[in-house]
Amino acid sequence: MIIAIPDDYHNLVRTLDCLKTLEGHEVRIFNDVAPAEAKLVANLRDADIIVPIRERTRFTRGIIEQLPKLKLFSQTGRSFHHIDVEACNDRGIAILSGGHPSPYTVAEHTWALIMASWRDVARECDGMRKGIWRSRFNIGLRGKTLAILGLGTIGGLIAQTGASFGMRVLVWGRENSLNAAKAAGYETAASQDDLFAQADVLVIMARLSKDTRGLVKAAHLALMKPSALLINTARAELIEPGALVAALKAGRPGMAATDVYENEPVQRGDHPLLKLDNALCSNHSAWLEQGTYEAYFGEAFAHAAAFAAGKVTQFANTPKTK
């Protein structure tokens, strides 16, 4: 079968050991950055199986209907909200999704952003190169409030680290998050407003869905302290469009760090957050770790190989029989 892998703009898939799983199939890897629809369709037109890299490409009905040979989406990771499921069902295209192989790399990156922002590491290092020796105090994290919006597996790891620093952990989210917080001995906020108002460091860890898109409003950000730091390593769409930039300009919160953006990759530095001195931006690299890549793609490639061998009968959708 022809197995296509679009959006490998980091050019890393060819380096993976798990690629050997697809031996015997024709594997086509595309490194285009956000190609136009016509180019995307041309790349994928002959594919029997597509292995999307997370949610980098949105597979609409219009695109899917231009892929006549497609039989399977083998998704890296659990989420496939970027794929039109009904269009796949109508055309007999199966979807297989994976899991969350490792929560640690995102938790680690989140703490890297917290510490780099709180201690102003990037500016300090740049100043040293310019001959500037700073003479002002740092502010410690001990005793500060670490607020977490959504206490799932990754949020739990972030909370544990904060607690080990002597931070007060405060949680808000759905019932599962609140129950997990109580079981771990953390405090729960009275409301989402209360969470934002009390936070010294606020970490967004909610899962993106139709219900959580735009979960964080401008009004929530306006409640934050001028000294507070907001971290988003989850999804950019969890924050109301334009709200974070406006809030940082207004000084509430005083700082933000993000690893995620509405349109990725960000090219030529063309993003308003990159123009703000109180924003620290990394290039959606929280999950860009070799072991994590091997786990995500190893699972997706194993699913693709099993499907090609006729060994898969349970799917994440209900495709009509062709």
DSSP helix/strand/coil, 270: coil
What 77-85 contacts at long range (C-beta under 8 Å, 24+ apart), as own/partner pairs, is 77/296, 79/54, 79/55, 79/207, 79/208, 80/52, 80/316, 81/55, 81/208, 81/209, 81/210, 82/52, 82/55, 82/57, 82/58, 83/52, 83/59, 84/59, 84/60, 85/317
Torsion of CA 202, 205, 210, 212, to 10 degrees: -30
Spatial distance between the Cα atoms of 283 and 113, rounded to a whole number of angstroms: 12
Q: Is 271 a catalytic residue?
A: no
Contact 58, 78 (CB under 8 A): no
DSSP 191: S
Contact 50, 76 (CB under 8 A): no
The gap from C-alpha 20 to its chain's centroid, in whole angstroms, comes to 27
Contact 200, 145 (CB under 8 A): yes
Residues 6 or more apart whose CB falls under 8 angstroms from that of 65 comprise: 87, 91
Q: CA-CA distances (angstroms) from residue 49 to 41, 66, 319? A: 13, 14, 15
Q: Is 237 a catalytic residue?
A: no
Q: Residue for token digits 């123009």?
A: 275
Q: CA-CA distances (angstroms) from residue 310 to 145, 156, 182, 306? A: 53, 39, 46, 6
The residue from 91, 220, 235, 271 that is catalytic is: 235
Q: Is 284 a catalytic residue?
A: yes
Indicate the pairing of strand 255-258 with strand 187-188.
unpaired
Q: Which amino acid is at 9?
A: Y
CB count, 10 Å around CB of 112? Answer: 18
The residue from 91, 284, 299, 303 that is catalytic is: 284
The residue from 240, 264, 299, 303 that is catalytic is: 264
- Residues acting as catalytic residues: 235, 264, 284
